[in-house]
Amino acid sequence: MNELYLVDPNGYRRHLANEASFHVLFRSFDDIKQRADIRDIAEGPEFSADIHIASPRGSNDWFLMTDGKKNPITPAGAAKCDFDYNNVVAVNPILVRDVPVGVTWI
C-alpha cells in the first residue's frame, strides 16, 4: 500500500496508519485522489491505528473516533470524505458521551 493521507478540517494531511484503517473508513480505493502537491500540504499527526466511525445507538450522530477524541461528522462531511456508512459502529451512548470533542468534519 502506498502512503494514504486524509486532509482534516484544519487543512492538515494526516497519515492513515495502515490499510485496515483505510478500509474501516472508506468504500474503495476508486475514490482516492492522487495529488502531486500532497507534500506541500502541512503534515499533522498520524491518525491512531484504531480509528473508526461510531454512532451512539438511538442516534443519527456520527463521530470519527481517533486520537482519544470524538470528532463530529456532519452529513456533508461524510459525503465529502465518502466515508463508508456500512462500517459505522453502533455503540452504547456512554462509550461516546464522555470522550473529549475534537474538530467537526463538515
Task: Please say whether the beta carbons of 71 and 63 come within 8 A.
Answer: yes
- For the stretch 54-102, pLDDT in tens is 999 999 999 999 999 999 999 999 998 989 999 999 999 999 999 999 9
Which amino acid type is present at position 96? Answer: V
Q: Where are the domains of the chain?
A: 5-97
pTM for the full model? Answer: 0.90
Q: Is 105 strand, coil or helix?
A: strand
**In this structure, what C-alpha cell is assigned to residue 60?**
443519527
Question: Hey, what's the cell of 95?
Answer: 462509550
